[in-house]
Every structure is written in C-alpha cells, then in structure tokens.
A and B are shown apart, each in its own frame.
Chain A
Amino acid sequence: MNALLTLFDLLLTLTLLGLAVVTVTSRELRRAVILFIAFGLLLALVWARLRAPDLALAEAAIGAGLSGALMLAAARRASGRKTSTGEDSDAKDAP
C-alpha cells in the first residue's frame, strides 16, 4: 500500500515537473499555452491526491480552463500579428 502510494507520488510529481519544464522551454507560444493547460489539469489531479478536492475543482475550472482560454486567445492574437499575411483562414476575429 505505502510502496504503491510512493510510486504514485513519484509518477505524479515527475510528470508535473516534466510538464512545467516543457512549458517554459517550448519554442512555440501556442504550444506553451496548451502545455500550461495540461499542467493545470495535472496539478488539479495532484491536489485531489493531497486531499484538497475543493482546490482541485477550482484549479481545473479556473486555473486551467479560464486562464487557458484567455491565454490561447492572446497567443492567437500574437501569432496573427506576427504572420499578418492572412494565411490563417480562421483568424477572423484577430484585431
């Protein structure tokens, strides 16, 4: 039981830290944002393991979901400005 739990802890934390590392080192902005959302969701899982289900819910909904949506919109604006040649057919809303 304890050995299994320790293994689970190790697996969760390594994945979490790995996701954090690839988030900050990723070259592409959009990719970084998506990895950040994945990181937030995994963080919610870790907090559920640490007996903080209230926080897990809030982090999954707010930290990963809403922050992620905000940042994705911003990443798209940024990439739209960089390549403003009009190759993105779906970038209709980018100001």
Chain B
Amino acid sequence: MIRPLEHIIIPLGLIAVGGLLGWSFFLAVTGEAGERLAAVALARVPDSGVSNPVTSVLLNFRAYDTLLELAVLLAALLGIWSLGAAAPGFQPAASVLDGMVNGFVPLLILSAGYMLWVGAYAPGGAFQAGALLGSAGVMLALAGHRNAGLPSEGRLRLLVALGVFVFAMTGLLLMVVGDGFLTYPPSLAKWLILLIETAATLSIGATLAAAYLGGRPAARPTTGETA
C-alpha cells in the first residue's frame, strides 16, 4: 500500500533539497570568489600571537563568535538546570572500574593541560581540552562519584561562568585601554589568548560534565575535587 506522505512527498522533497544543496555547493566550490578569506587569514596568522591558524581564527580574528558560543553553552546548561535536579547517580564502581577511573582521570586532566598549551602551534586548543576535562567528569559520574567530581553548587556556578566572564572582561578592558573590543595588541596577544583559553577550558569542562548529569547538582557533594 502506498502512503502518499511517506512514499511520494518526502522522497520528492528530499530530492529537491538535495538538488538545491548540490547545485549551490558546486557553485561555491567552482566559482571564482575573488580574494578568499583564507588568504587574508593565513597571511595575518603571524600577527595573532599563536601559530595554529584555527586557534588564531577562533580566539583572535573571530573572537566574537567564540565568546557568543561560550554564552550558548552557558545558556544550555542553565536551561538543563532549570528543568529540575539531577538523577540520583550510579552506584559506586567495583574495584576494576574504580582502579581504571583512578588511573585515567588524572591522565585526562594532564592531557587536557597539554592540549590547551599545544593549541597555540599544533592541533588542539580550549575546546578539545575542555572536552577532555568534561569526559573526565563523565567517567567519574559513571564510576559512581556524586556530582561527577564537580565542586559544590556555589563554586560550580562560578566555574561555569568563568569562561564568558574572563572573555568579556578582557574585551571590555581592551576597549577601555582604547584598542577596541577584543582587539589584542600583538605584543600581548599570546598571553591574552592563553588567559582566555584557560578560563574557557575550565568552563567548558565543568559545563559538559554538569550537562551530562542532566540536572541541578545534588545538594551535598562528597568531596571538593575539581574535574
């Protein structure tokens, strides 16, 4: 039996969408767009304070985007928290998983620090480092640690807002000095980027781990360890 919606309308619509996408993609790839943004960006990378082009676009040329992205992450977490308390959590892990987690979590934190530092000149950066911190938190949650190793609620709130705060304050401070919002002076750019990235890494890690818990953290954390 032929159902008109599933067997006629949706396939036709998909073909139309696919054709349109394919056509526009073909034009975008083959068209002569004049001076590409890539050439401009790659030419200015030496002035940006870091030598990894992606990091320099992310934290310098288009720092606005990244600031707003951190705000999106924060808003999503606030949305999750507003929906209620987190699930009670897993039971404490048996010795094998517990031993593995005890070994892996410090390793993950260490590699997050490495990832953060190496992002200046090689693949890596704040988001990858934050993801590693977040996955350390997920591991702790899976092994039965309450709150995924995150600090108590008051400090957690400070931690998740830290990235946006430091980012915005740096921008405003530069504005007051007279350079314009998030326009780093080239001599300071490396250190400003590192400062912002460090704050962003901590925030991203805490946000992702807290988002995995799926609700407001439980009232009484067991320990004050930070993921």
Q: Do chains A and B touch in the complex (CB under 8 A)?
A: yes
When the two chains form their complex, are residues A62 and B123 in contact, meaning their CB atoms are under 8 A apart?
A: no
Q: Is B125 an interface residue (CB 8 A)?
A: yes
Majority secondary structure, A binding face = helix
Q: Are A57 and B135 CB-contacts (below 8 A) given A70-B212, A95-B87?
A: no
B89 touches A54 (CB 8 A): no
| Cβ 8 A contact of B124, one of A54, A73, A92 | A54
CB-based contact A58/B212 at 8 Å: no
Chain A residues with Cβ under 8 A from B125's Cβ? 54
User: Which size class do A's interface residues fall under?
Assistant: 10 to 19
Interface residue tally on B, bucketed by range? 20 to 34
With contacts defined as CB atoms under 8 Å apart, how many contacts are there between chain A and chain B in the complex? Answer: 50
**Binding site of B, secondary structure by majority: helix, strand, loop or mixed?**
helix
Assess the B124–A93 pair: CB atoms within 8 A. Answer: no
Chain B residues with CB under 8 Å of A95's CB are 87-88
- A54 & B214 in contact (Cβ 8 Å cutoff): no
* Contact (Cβ within 8 A) A92 B91: yes
Q: Does A69 contact B (CB under 8 A)?
A: yes
Contact residue among A57, A73, A92 (Cβ-Cβ distance under 8 Å from B128): A57
- Say yes or no for B90: interface residue by CB 8 A criterion: yes
Q: Which of A53, A54, A61 contacts B135 (CB 8 A)?
A: A61
Would you give 6 A-B contacts (Cβ < 8 Å), ordered by A? Answer: A57-B128, A62-B127, A62-B134, A66-B134, A70-B211, A93-B91
B contacts, CB < 8 Å to A: 52, 54-55, 87-91, 115, 123-125, 127-128, 131-132, 134-135, 138, 142, 208, 211-212, 214
